[in-house]
Amino acid sequence: MSWNFNVIHSRGSSALTKTFVLVAVIANLGPAGTAFGSYVWPSSYDEIEDIYSLQQGYEARLLGDKAASCGVDGGAENQAPDWLRIAFHDMITHDAAAGIGGLDASVWLKLDREENFGRNFNETFVDFRPYYSPKTSAADLLALGVVVAHSACGGTTKIPYRFGRIDAQSAGAAGVPQKRDPVTKMADRFAAAGFNQADMIALTACGHSLGGQHGPGHNDGPIEYDEEAEHDETAEEEEEDEEPHGEEEGHDEELENFDTTPNGFDNLLAIEYLDGTSKSPLIVGKKRHKQP
């Protein structure tokens, strides 16, 4: 596998670089901040830098494997849409005036809320669990997931990746915008998080550039993480042999894409909406009034 992150990373930069609004904002938002200065080895950030940088070759950490193909080959697992979605759900309840919330991994303490229902969030937790440690916060991994997903799916802008976020110890406020909400309510939520109307449109459109919407049956319960079997190849092979062929019980095979390029990070969702050709379930179709 060979692919390029096409990103910049920095420590302690307080300025938010205005690149592509969705991914740049999510990758930067949060209580991240480390002082500039001479590098001292070992650094408390060596681990997250390795996860970020070592994607192939000797001691590769391989975080990007589940998003590397962006589902283009039709067979590889693609988590990119889920990684973008969960980061948005985590950060959008930020209270800019009070200076609290943001990208702090509190979303994993709020999975019992209707706005965060869905097996995808549990699966993302399983994806990141092997990389979580006292040296790597869950919030930094969420931000890194955005950087990886964006690059893997063809994003061409450079994302300044910042690390040093501190994980929340309790669930924060609710308030993730829902597609059934009035526009004024959505605008108020984005404004409270520090975004203007143009940001809201960009975040909504770009945030639905990848993937699609699942039908009924996808909101399964939590997925248990078996740490002992994490690297047990024999156990994994046995589980694969035991899986029935065909449709998996409780798994949704009814997926409606948001636009005609569900594997590419682009603005086609907005273009198709404006020219009247969109078939997105957010706009037309039988799921448009259902909870995401």
Query: What does the pLDDT look like over 25-84, one tens digit per residue?
Result: 455 554 444 444 577 788 888 999 999 988 788 888 888 887 777 766 554 467 888 898
- Give the up-direction half-sphere exposure of residue 3: CA atoms within 13 A in the CB hemisphere: 23
Q: How sure is the predictor about 132, in pLDDT bands with cuts at 50, 70 and 90?
A: very high
- Predicted pLDDT at 56: 80
Question: What's the rounded Cα separation, in Å, for the pair 116 and 267?
Answer: 25
- Predicted pLDDT at 258: 77
Residue 11 in tokens: 């420590």
Centre a 10 Å sphere on the Cβ of residue 189 and count the other Cβ atoms it contains. 19
Element (H, E) at 270: helix 268-274
**147: CB partners within 8 A, 6+ apart:** 5, 7, 23, 27, 52, 159, 161
Contact 53, 188 (CB under 8 A): no
Question: What's the rounded Cα separation, in Å, for the pair 170 and 95?
Answer: 15
- Predicted pLDDT at 287: 46
Sketch the domain layout of the chain as residue ranges: 7-34+44-55+63-221+253-274
- What is the residue whose two structure tokens read 């086609």? 268
Overall fold of domain 7-34+44-55+63-221+253-274 = Peroxidase; domain 1 (1.10.520)
- Give the up-direction half-sphere exposure of residue 245: CA atoms within 13 A in the CB hemisphere: 0
Radius of gyration, alpha carbons of the chain: 19
- Predicted pLDDT at 210: 78
